[in-house]
Structure 1
Amino acid sequence: MNFLRFFAPVITAIVLFTSLQAHALEAESFTKERFDALQAEGAPILVDIYATWCPTCAKQREVLETYQNENPDSELVILEVDFDDQKEWVKHFKAPRQSTLLLFDGSEQVWFSVAETREDKIFAAIGKLLGQ
């Protein structure tokens, strides 16, 4: 009984803190099949060429998480290309380095960026794609 009385406020604080945390980025691992299917549907797609060790990529990820948190009903699909493990797709997208972002309106590439971390620029490109 004393145990519960002592730890109840701590447990409550942990639960509240956890519920206030931002949600993790909702993204899918890139596959040709998924990319082709999304393009055929005319879906808005963001291809994120990232590396787990890249600080610029981490900042971009924070910006994209913020976008998703502020726009939970967005139709934007994020596909992640691993810079170290998916070299054929890095070359396919002509990414000069990790931290490359590409936006597609179906099969049409409408935006290309390298190392862009400014929230306003990334949000503006996504907004333009989605007609916002």
Structure 2
Amino acid sequence: MNKLFAGLVLLFGLMTGIASAQPFDEQTYKQLQSDNQLVLIDVKASWCPTCAKQGKILKRYFDNNPDSKITLLEVDFDDQKPWVTHFKAPRQSTLVLMQGEQRLWLSVAETREDKIVAALQAAEMK
């Protein structure tokens, strides 16, 4: 994905209040990181039932919080192994909440909605 397209996708999402997931790409991530933005990294695999449960929870969260300051980036567990390693994800179904260079939260295989929502809300209140 080129830088202009990634920026337009991000801008459109912010303007419309749609906080939909975007495929992870290094340029977008580094820009968000340099802007000290909240970024939720969702390390997932298409074949993973736990990832599907997390995806439903995240969709509900962002649907219910259209003004969320969190950008959701999806890392493909099977095809983006260097980034899986970078985020220290021990397996698919890993969620990593970042702000700038700081990791705020890491969760593996968490499917309790209250736990995921609490972590996202706590980050947004900082």
Separation (CA, whole Å) in 2 of partners of 1:97 and 1:105: 22
Alignment of 1:9-24 (within 5 A): none
Q: Which position in structure 2 is the counterpart of 1:129?
A: 123
> The residue matched to 1:52 in structure 2 has which SS?
coil
Whether the 8 Å contact between 1:25 and 1:61 is mirrored in structure 2 is: no
- For 2:67, give the aligned amino acid: D
The 1-side partners of 2:112 and 2:77 are apart by 21
**CA positional deviation for 1:25:** 7.3
Aligned mates of 2:91, 2:29 — CA distance in 1: 20
Normalised to the residue count of structure 2, the TM-score between the two structures is: 0.83
Matches within 5 A, 1:1-132: 26-131=20-125
Q: State the 4+ residue runs in structure 1 displaced beyond 4 angstroms.
A: none
Structure 2 gaps, min length 5? 1-17
Once the two structures are aligned, what percentage of the paired residues are identical? 52
- The RMSD of aligned alpha carbons is 1.5
Q: Residue by residue, what CA displacement relative to the aligned partner does 1:14-67 show, whole Å, maximum 9, x if unpaired?
A: xxxxxxxxxx97111111111110011111100000000000000000000000
Larger radius of gyration: 1
Kept in 1, the 8 Å contact 2:50–2:109? The answer is yes
